[in-house]
Amino acid sequence: MSKNNKNNKENKKEKQTRLWALLISLIILLVALIGLSVYLMQNKEKEDENTLAYTDLIKEISAGNIEKIEMQTGSTTVKVKVRNEEEEKTAIVPNTESFITLVQSKVEEGNEIELIQKPRSFISQIPSFIISFLPTAIMLALFIMLFKMQGLGEKGKVYDETERKTKITFDDVAGLDEEKEEMKEIVDFLKKPEKYTKMGARVPKGVLLYGKPGTGKTLIAKAIAGEADVPFISMSGSEFIEMFAGLGASRVRKLFEKARKLAPCIVFIDEIDAIGSRRTSNSGAETENNQTLNQLLVEMDGFGSEETIIVLAATNRPEMLDKALLRPGRFDRRITIPTPDLKGRLEILKIHSKDKRLAEDVNLESIAEDTAGFTGAELENILNEAAIVATKNKHEDIENEDIEEAVKKVTVGLEKRERKYSEKDKRLTAYHEAGHAVVSRYLPTQTNVKEISIIPRGVAGGYTMYKSDEDKYYISKTEMEEKLVALLGGRAAEKLVLNDISTGASNDIEVATKIARDMVTKYGMSDKLGPIDFQGKEPYEMQMFGEDIGDKIGLEVKELINTAYNRAISLLQEHRDKLDAIAEELLKHEKINEEKFEEFFKE
């Protein structure tokens, strides 16, 4: 209620300002028009008395009545002094050159005419009609400016409501098969909303696309609109940052006003973190952001199932988002857009090489293999670069060497921006992940490996995914101990194979340490210390367990970790062949699924 009130008030105020601006503009225009007509009338009178027709001028010259003629280069208007007349007159000569010859011949004939030819002055370069219109032009410009200003809220460049319909479809989006499946639902809803509302289903309102820049979030949003054949209205959060106070909120309101008119439609908010970041202090830009964010929340809560509007938003910093955005009825669906895997990269390369002339020797498969960690935008960029390189090399078509050069160009360029895989990193990651997987394969309580990958994801260089546990109420001590072994399998493999350890295991170590500490201090699993809860105790409470209780706990945690680490090392030593084989496979194909993984253990 209060929110609506505020909306109305703001609307009224805005309407009033607009009316005033319009009124002032009209008055200015009126004054300008009156001024112009008065000026024109005066000029006309003057002209009537003081001008001489060209034919009359010639007659007067022949009759010897002209005393003086003043000309300016480039001007067809001449000033003439008629004998025995006070005022100078003006005349227009159609052709100045022949006029001058004419006058000169008259002078040679003995006619007494003073011919003055002046260089062109600045003012005379400007055609006279422009000068007479100048005041009006200035008025008009002012008028237009005023008009624009009062319409700013409506037609600012801020949200380009881009193509009303896009022609992009899912065929233009390579890879991302699972994600596309999820999005087909949204498309179906946009096409046939009744189908869902009839069932009483709560329709999706907001979908958040998470993913690194260049992974195709904007492309996907457009493709959804294209597939559903609905308008696509877009706006970018970053555009709000440099905006005047209060405008952000009003922009958001306008955006949704438009969306309501065009519904069913897609509203796309790019870089939503710029407006939707956590509401913190109450100062400056943040307050402005808050207003914008609040308006967005109001709008999203405001439209109901009768309006088929789906708000898609993109961000690469999900952790920055205000929690309020993620509540049900707002952006309650989230789709993660990953960097493409080998197959995805190949498909992206195929799509973007369609309109390019590739030579026979180009092997897109091997390019896909060489570009682990690249986004769709980077791959597209590589093909564009390759075309440029090929042109520079004067090749008929894009050859493999052109693409290789382009890859290097783009990679070197990228290395500065973010961490890219070096061969050494890749090998380390492959052994690290293979270490986790092999170790857990030989631990009876650990769940099966579902997928191993060395494609960087987020901050991690790679990952080993396990099949999820069935819901369990209790976890045994053995299970926890073995979990520690699996967690430390990555570090153990690095040590064993490369005889060096890396920072890549930091998260594993963090998790393992927490588990070990919980085992000792929370679950009473240490034989030496017994079943006592040591957690969350004040120092004086701890003292009753003895002065050195802290040291004892520390030693027990250390013991658990060391035991687990040594077990991981010996398991890997024992099954070194598997470790090597799996790491090799990862280096070649980046990903191993469950079946493939199990094949290594048959015999």
Instruction: For ligand ADP, give the closer residue by CB, 219 or 297.
Output: 219
Q: Give the CB-nearest residue to ligand ADP.
A: 376
Interaction partner, residue 206 (ligand ADP, Zn ion, Mg ion, none; CB < 5-8 Å by kind): none
Structure token digits, residue 222: 């457009």
CA distance 136 to 29: 9
CA distance 460 to 505: 9
Instruction: For Mg ion, give the closer residue by CB, 220 or 583.
Output: 220
Question: Helix, strand, or coil here: 254?
Answer: helix
Residues 302-321, one symbol each (x = binds ligand ADP by CB under 6 A, - = not), give ------------x-------
Q: Which of 193, 206, 211, 373 binds ligand ADP (CB under 6 A)?
A: 211
DSSP string, 313-341: EEES-GGGB-GGGGSTTSS-EEEE-PPP-
- Number of other residues whose CB lies within 10 A of the CB of residue 543: 11
Contact segment (CB under 6 A) with ligand ADP among 169-177, 241-249, 436-444, 513-521 equals: 169-177
Interaction partner, residue 461 (Zn ion, ligand ADP, Mg ion, none; CB < 5-8 Å by kind): none
**How buried is residue 93: exposed, middle or buried, by Cβ count under 10 Å (0-12/13-18/19+)?**
buried
Q: Least distance (Å) from ligand ADP to the CB of residue 455? A: 14
Q: Where are the alpha helices (DSSP H) in 325-422?
A: 342-353, 364-370, 376-392, 400-417
Q: Least distance (Å) from Mg ion to the CB of residue 270? A: 5
**How buried is residue 183: exposed, middle or buried, by Cβ count under 10 Å (0-12/13-18/19+)?**
buried
Task: Tell me how long the chain is.
Answer: 603
Q: Least distance (Å) from ligand ADP to the CB of residue 475? A: 39
Q: If binding is defined by CB under 6 A, does position 237 make contact with ligand ADP?
A: no
CA distance 502 to 484: 18
Contact segment (CB under 6 A) with ligand ADP among 50-58, 210-218, 514-522, 571-579 equals: 210-218
Residue 443 to residues 63, 109, 440, 497, 572, Cα–Cα distance (Å): 125, 124, 5, 21, 12
Q: Least distance (Å) from ligand ADP to the CB of residue 173? A: 5
> Which residues 335-354 are close enough to bind ligand ADP by CB under 6 A?
348, 351
Q: Least distance (Å) from ligand ADP to the CB of residue 332? A: 21
Instruction: For ligand ADP, give the closer residue by CB, 351 or 560.
Output: 351
Structure token digits, residue 395: 């090749």
**Contacts with Zn ion, residue ranges (CB under 5 A):** 490, 508
Instruction: For ligand ADP, give the closer residue by CB, 219 or 389.
Output: 219
Q: Give the CB-nearest residue to Mg ion.
A: 218
Measured in whole angstroms, the distance separating CA 399 from the mean position of its chain's CA atoms is: 32
Q: Cis link prior to 213 (omega < 30° from 0)?
A: no
> Which residues 175-194 are close enough to bind ligand ADP by CB under 6 A?
175-176
Contact segment (CB under 6 A) with ligand ADP among 67-75, 374-382, 409-417, 419-427 equals: 374-382
Instruction: For Zn ion, give the closer residue by CB, 399 or 508.
Output: 508
Q: Which of 227, 239, 380, 585 binds ligand ADP (CB under 6 A)?
A: 380
Interaction partner, residue 525 (ligand ADP, Zn ion, Mg ion, none; CB < 5-8 Å by kind): none
Nearest to 482 by CA among 563, 389, 381: 563
Instruction: For Zn ion, give the closer residue by CB, 106 or 426.
Output: 426
Place of tokens 């929370």: 522
Interaction partner, residue 508 (Zn ion, ligand ADP, Mg ion, none; CB < 5-8 Å by kind): Zn ion
109 is catalytic: no
Q: Which residues contact 224 (CB under 8 A, 6 or more apart)?
A: 183, 186, 187, 190, 266, 310, 312
CB 227 within 8 A of CB 168: no
CA distance 582 to 395: 41
CA distance 557 to 513: 8
Instruction: For ligand ADP, give the closer residue by CB, 174 or 557.
Output: 174
Q: Which of 218, 236, 353, 440 binds Mg ion (CB under 5 A)?
A: 218
Nearest to 166 by CA among 223, 87, 85: 223
Instruction: For ligand ADP, give the closer residue by CB, 115 or 377.
Output: 377
- The one catalytic residue in 288, 385, 399, 433 is 433
Contact segment (CB under 5 A) with Mg ion among 213-221, 376-384, 458-466, 529-537 equals: 213-221
The H or E element that residue 584 is part of is: helix 576-589
Active-site residue set: 433
Q: Give residues in contact with Mg ion (CB under 5 A).
A: 218
Q: Give residues in contact with ligand ADP (CB under 6 A).
A: 173-176, 211, 213-219, 314, 348, 351, 376-377, 380
